[in-house]
Amino acid sequence: MTSSPAHVLTDDELDLLELALGGAVPRLPFAEGPVTLTDTENTPLAEVGDDGSVSPVKPIAAALGPQWDERLRVPARDVSADVAPGTTAVWLAEAPTAEDVAAVARAAETGELLLLVPASRHTAPGTVGAAGLTRAALALAAETGNPRVVVVPYPHGSAARAGGASSGGPTAPADMAPAPSDIATAYGAERLLVPADERSPEARAALAALPDAHARAVAALYPAASAREVERAAAAGHSRGTVVFFTGLSGSGKSTVARALAAELDDDGLETTLLDGDAVRHHLSKGLGFDRESRETNVERIGYVASLVAKHGGIAVAAPIAPFAASRAKVRALAEATGARFLLVHISTPLEVCEARDRKGLYAKARAGEIPDFTGISSPYETPDDADLTIDTSEVSVEDAVTRVRAAI
């Protein structure tokens, strides 16, 4: 590690870092060295040198879902070493239609294929996310001679540049989004096929009409006055909101479980907002200290935002340390006052396990007196006696933990 300034990576920047470390892009357009790149938990992931070179420091955290399968999420340099000359890359930024499957099958008859799945860490509402695209790609491979499927980390904002015009959501700056053709080349392919670009006018029109299909069906079944009331009722009938609030020591695994839970709920098409402790500190509570009053203010801010999400039928997943019972009780009250479900999940992993896992060296610094008011060392953690669910991640896998939380909500 160096003493260079730190830069906290956004989701798009994390995707670009993963591409760079895998040899798919030559440099990072958002980082001029020297700089240390960290995730939202302030874990150093890479160093950027004066010449723009990128060196890994610690592994990028993986999550759940088929898009994180290490057999599929393979660095470009490793894939390109195995790709046959003349291979065509198929860019699957959308779930393939029947026409797309036929186009890929025709391409498979003329040479080797490589199915590339651009997988973002963010899923735009109403779209098929990385997990769904990966499952669809595996099914497509099974229908077309089993070409290799590779998951490519790819900034969400750039998805519309090739076959993802319906992706919606925020847009990454153009110079941050590597062209799919360049990605295909980095992974060893000589040609690029974007099935969505080959669709017939009839297929494009049918896809464009899908969002209004329900309204058209209602209009055909009801007279105008009744149709308006049916549409009004459907618009108002959102599901009851939910706040899932994780609490536990630093290093207990609460953020890992929270991220995995949010990803699964997103994949199910549920409106989910993740309020992770370090990310909130960086944005919502920037400037607050770590004394008791500041900690309680931070937790109550998280609780307030979570209650707003739940009030409108969404799911808020929060994962601060939240060491004090009083502030946790206020968060519960805020959520329940909106009519939302509230689930307090205590990640009860023992202190010694948390210390052994510490990626950032915080416990060692706290024991050396370099970090005051550190929960579990120089500041108390009040163990919940009102937890709706208690999970020790030293005994329970992330997958099983997510299953337990989902069952509880």
Q: How far apart, in whole angstroms, are the C-alpha atoms of residue 152 and residue 136?
A: 15
- The tens digit of pLDDT for each residue in 269-309 reads 788 899 976 677 777 877 788 888 998 999 999 999 999 99
**Residue 404 or 163, more confident:** 404
Neighbours of 284 (CB within 10 A): 14
Is 252 annotated for ligand binding?
Answer: yes
183 CB-contact burial (10 Å; exposed 0-12 / middle 13-18 / buried 19+): buried
Q: How confident is the model at residue 3 (pLDDT cuts 50, 70, 90)?
A: low
Confidence band for 159, pLDDT divided at 50, 70 and 90: very low
Q: Is the pLDDT of residue 10 over 70?
A: yes
Is 157 annotated to bind ligand? no
Which tens digit of pLDDT belongs to each residue from 39-72?
Answer: 877 889 999 999 999 999 999 988 888 999 999 9
- Any idea where the domains of the chain sit in the sequence? 6-56, 66-198, 201-236, 242-408
- CB 298, CB 281: distance < 8 Å: yes
Per-residue pLDDT of 218-270, as tens digits, reads 999 999 999 988 888 776 655 679 999 999 999 999 999 999 999 888 888 78
Q: By the 8 A CB rule, do 256 and 401 touch? A: no
Rounded to whole angstroms, the Cα distance separating 82 from 249 reads 44
Is residue 248 part of an annotated ligand binding site? yes
Residue 23 is assigned to a ligand binding site: no
Query: How far apart are the C-alpha atoms of 50 and 180, rounded to whole Å?
Result: 28
Please, what is the Cα angle at 184 between 180 and 189, to 5 degrees?
155
* Beta strand pairing call for 35-38 and 44-48: antiparallel
Would you tell me how many other CB atoms lie within 10 Å of the CB of residue 191?
16
Tell which wins on pLDDT, 402 or 168: 402
Residue 101: partners with Cβ closer than 8 Å, 6 or more residues away: 140, 143, 144
Q: Please, are residues 303 and 331 in contact by the beta-carbon 8 Å criterion? A: yes
Per-residue pLDDT tens for 190-217? 999 999 999 999 999 999 999 889 889 9
- Residue-wise pLDDT tens digits, 78-105: 999 999 999 999 999 999 999 999 999 9
Sequence letter at residue 349 = T
Percentage with pLDDT > 70 across the chain: 93
Q: Are 85 and 190 in contact, with CB atoms under 8 Å apart?
A: yes
% of the chain surpassing 90 pLDDT:
69
Q: What is the pLDDT of residue 335?
A: 94
- Per residue in 165-196, pLDDT (tens digit) is 333 333 344 457 799 999 999 999 999 999 99
Locate tokens 């199910």: which residue?
268
Can you read off the two tokens belonging to residue 158? 């750039």
Peptide bond into 34 cis (omega under 30): yes
pLDDT of residue 376: 93
**Residue 253 is labelled as binding a ligand:** yes
Residue 405 in this model has a pLDDT that exceeds 90? yes
CB 48 within 8 A of CB 31: yes
Q: Which CATH number fits domain 242-408: 3.40.640.10, 3.40.50.300, 3.20.20.100, 2.60.40.1080?
A: 3.40.50.300
Q: By C-alpha distance, which of 137, 149, 76, 84 is closest to 110?
A: 84
CA distance 335 to 243: 7
8-state DSSP, 45? E
**Any binding-site annotation on 132?**
no
pLDDT digits (tens, 9 = 90+) for 341-373: 999 999 999 999 999 988 788 999 999 999 988
- The neighbouring-strand residues paired with 114 are 89, 148
Predicted confidence (pLDDT) per residue in 109-132, tens digit = 999 999 999 998 877 767 888 999
- pLDDT confidence of residue 32: 84
> Known binder of ligand: residue 294?
no
Instruction: Please give the pLDDT value at position 268.
Output: 81
- Answer yes or no: are the C-beta atoms of 340 and 240 closer than 8 Å: yes
